[in-house]
Amino acid sequence: MKKIAAKVFFLGGLWKFKGAHLLPKIAKEINKKVKGFKLLVIGKPYELTLKETDYIKPLGFIPKENLMKEISSAKIYIHPAIYEPFGVSIAEAVMLGTIPIVSNKTGIKEFLPKELIANSLNEFVEKAIQILNLNKEEYFELITEVRKGLEPKVKKEASINAFKKAIKNLVKN
């Protein structure tokens, strides 16, 4: 398999609410500015099917072992959702060492630095190019910062305690 210089991925069912229909536009614009760019699209085609181009490669559903390899070898997880309560795969990608860029319509945005939240297609492109241009040290610093902010908020115990607290507050009112 040919090595890709600027590997980015999307993971999820190919639904419009996940922003899958926006991926070709984002990928095309990044490709204009980044040599060796390729967006790998991992997920089952439900509402739409993406065609392979010079800058986008649909992989469909892949086994878990390959999935983890693809995620951990990518620099960026692009997630342009129109609606997403909480993207667990985004948190998992962070723990595997991949920096996410998410839309302002995802619940996980509350746990990420504002520099990783895109408010438009242009911002997805700009932010992706900035991250792809980071050197190894800068990339490591950013993923470390993202992990430190996200990890305590997505741990099982923290989630259970937050849920209990919310239920207690509901019962009191």
Q: DSSP letters of 11-37? A: ES---GGGTGGGHHHHHHHHHHHSTTE
| Domains of the chain as residue ranges with CATH | 6-172 (3.40.50.2000)
Q: Which of 100, 102, 101, 98 is nearest to 82 (CA)?
A: 102
Contact 111, 151 (CB under 8 A): no
Pick the residue with more confidence: 108 or 156? 108
Angle 23-33/121-132 helices, nearest 10 degrees?
Answer: 40
Taken in order 27, 30, 33, 34, the sign of the CA dihedral is negative
pLDDT bracket for residue 1 (50, 70, 90): very low
Tokens of 169: 């507050």
Contact 26, 121 (CB under 8 A): yes
Cβ burial, residue 123 (10 Å; 0-12/13-18/19+): middle
pLDDT tens for 8-62 read: 999 999 999 999 999 999 999 999 999 889 999 999 999 999 999 999 999 999 9
Cβ burial, residue 43 (10 Å; 0-12/13-18/19+): buried
